[in-house]
A = this chain, B = another copy of it.
């Protein structure tokens, strides 16, 4: 089966069949990163541009490693060194990059919709690596791969997502993807962190963590974006963590075999207590990172290597 798509812009656009294809392809790529020689010639002679307008370690590195393990040429452009300094618009940047004949442009941007704009402008494949508070589909796909790996399925699971739902592209992409795959999603967060009309996305809403995680198969804690919280949507970190930090007490409300996820980087003691974050019997946070390389290899392969 082929992925009949030019771009990966969001989970909202992907069908169940497409998601399954991506996850199965990613599973088959997982083994390459454990080999003595972690490299296959699949994308030799392809050019991948990582165009990052926001700081990132893990996502950019994950895409760069994914590209290199498939033998593609990878080019990093970050906003601090780019012509954005000269006031070039995203549109002109896009058209200029297009004229250099890359095969894929991976973009992270603080503005929701930037990857969609790029997609409409250039003929190359675009992968959204996070656009504002909108979507982060590769994160959702690696989360789904991790859930499937640990639970054997996604359908029928109860999955709690807690924290700053309103500002989280990770939450949004996971809600789109996981509901589509048949999971039951509940969310929890302070009132100021819950988007209006969120029930319309097909989720149940709670104003406290305990109710949300009761009976959950999966608990996904979101990152508090400390660096974006100058406008202070909650009284204090201390008060937040008193009500919304996952710890050894409240985790007992979840299923015995619950798995704990976090997109990283963790604020230890704010979203998750350190003992839970580092507990190998429930935390799958590093499996998420590991699966991230495989998911990105799968997407690069399906978009530009799978049509041969």
**A binding-site residues for B, Cβ under 8 Å:** 33-39, 44-47, 49, 52, 55-58, 60-62, 64-65, 68-69, 73, 75, 77-78, 80-89, 92-93, 95-102, 226-227, 264-268, 286-287, 289-290, 292-293, 308
- 3 tightest A-B CB contacts, nearest first: A37-B45, A88-B265, A99-B289
Min C-beta distance of A187 to chain B, whole Å: 23
User: Judging by beta carbons under 8 Å apart, are B80 and A80 in contact?
Assistant: yes
Which B residues touch A286, using CB under 8 A?
Answer: 95-96, 98-99
Q: How far is the CA of A89 from the CA of B264 in the complex (A)?
A: 11
Q: How far is the CA of A68 from the CA of B75 in the complex (A)?
A: 9
User: Judging by beta carbons under 8 Å apart, are B97 and A61 in contact?
Assistant: yes
Measured CB to CB, the nearest residue on chain B to A95 is B286
Which B residues touch A60, using CB under 8 A?
Answer: 81
User: Judging by beta carbons under 8 Å apart, are B57 and A46 in contact?
Assistant: no
User: Judging by beta carbons under 8 Å apart, are A45 and B38 in contact?
Assistant: yes
Which B residues touch A45, using CB under 8 A?
Answer: 35-39, 69
Min C-beta distance of A58 to chain B, whole Å: 5
Measured CB to CB, the nearest residue on chain B to A289 is B99
Measured CB to CB, the nearest residue on chain B to A307 is B36
User: Given that A38-B46, A289-B100, A293-B100 are contacting pairs, would A56 and B83 also be in contact in the complex, using a CB cutoff of 8 Å?
Assistant: yes
User: Judging by beta carbons under 8 Å apart, are A57 and B80 in contact?
Assistant: no
Q: Which of B36, B39, B47, B265 contacts A83 (CB 8 A)?
A: B265
User: Judging by beta carbons under 8 Å apart, are B73 and A57 in contact?
Assistant: no
Q: How far is the CA of A61 from the CA of B88 in the complex (A)?
A: 15
Which B residues touch A266, using CB under 8 A?
Answer: 88, 92
Q: How far is the CA of A47 from the CA of B38 in the complex (A)?
A: 8
Q: Which of B47, B55, B96, B267 contacts A82 (CB 8 A)?
A: B55
Min C-beta distance of A75 to chain B, whole Å: 6
User: Judging by beta carbons under 8 Å apart, are B69 and A83 in contact?
Assistant: no
Which B residues touch A61, using CB under 8 A?
Answer: 49, 75, 77, 97, 100
User: Judging by beta carbons under 8 Å apart, are B80 and A81 in contact?
Assistant: yes
Which B residues touch A64, using CB under 8 A?
Answer: 75
Q: How far is the CA of A52 from the CA of B78 in the complex (A)?
A: 14
User: Judging by beta carbons under 8 Å apart, are B289 and A73 in contact?
Assistant: no
User: Judging by beta carbons under 8 Å apart, are A101 and B47 in contact?
Assistant: no
Measured CB to CB, the nearest residue on chain B to A97 is B61
Q: Which of B68, B99, B290 contacts A99 (CB 8 A)?
A: B290
Q: How far is the CA of A98 from the CA of B285 in the complex (A)?
A: 12
User: Judging by beta carbons under 8 Å apart, are B65 and A100 in contact?
Assistant: yes
User: Judging by beta carbons under 8 Å apart, are A101 and B38 in contact?
Assistant: yes
User: Judging by beta carbons under 8 Å apart, are B47 and A68 in contact?
Assistant: yes
Q: How far is the CA of A96 from the CA of B292 in the complex (A)?
A: 11
User: Judging by beta carbons under 8 Å apart, are A96 and B289 in contact?
Assistant: yes
User: Judging by beta carbons under 8 Å apart, are B264 and A96 in contact?
Assistant: yes
Q: How far is the CA of A88 from the CA of B226 in the complex (A)?
A: 11
